[in-house]
Amino acid sequence: MATIIFQFEDTKIPTKTVTGDFTDTSILEVTEEADVHLNHNCGGVCACSTCHIYVEKGENFLEEISDKEEDFIDRATNPRLESRLACQCIILEDDAVVTVTIPDQSRIIGHEH
């Protein structure tokens, strides 16, 4: 079983750990299944940057970043080296352990989960 640990910039939201069979599933899809709030205006097709997250640990368990994703990350609020788009973070292994930080969603106008 994969383990995804969600941390939040908004410190009022507690860390949430989710486990399950997430192989070939995106981090965005996991947020929807686990009732974790993450905006996603384009519906998860790598056409915006609203599902921007920071992958703190476990990047090796995720599909590599594409040039298209890098282009959209440049448009995200406060991008960092560990920035990714949750819709493009496909979990590759059933024993994955990934820790992500979700940026403060109050600064993002868009579709809410």
For 17-54, the pLDDT digits (tens) are 999 999 999 999 999 999 999 999 988 899 999 999 99
The pLDDT tens digits for 81-97 are 999 999 999 999 999 99
CATH classification at residue 41: 3.10.20.30
Here the tokens at position 58 are: 């476990």
Structural domain that includes position 35: 2-106
Rounded to the nearest 10°, the torsion over CA 69, 74, 77, 78 is 110
Is 113 part of any domain? no
Per the structure, the count of domains in the chain is 1
Is 112 part of any domain? no
Q: Where are the beta strands (DSSP E) in 13-82?
A: 16-20, 52-57
Is 111 part of any domain? no
Is 25 part of any domain? yes
Is 58 part of any domain? yes
Give the helix ranges, DSSP H, for the chain.
27-33, 67-73
The mean pLDDT of 57-65, rounded to a whole number, is 98
Overall size of the chain counted in residues: 113
Confidence band (pLDDT; 50, 70, 90) for 70? Answer: very high
Is 19 part of any domain? yes
Residue 15, judged by CB atoms within 10 A of its CB (0-12, 13-18, 19+), counts as exposed
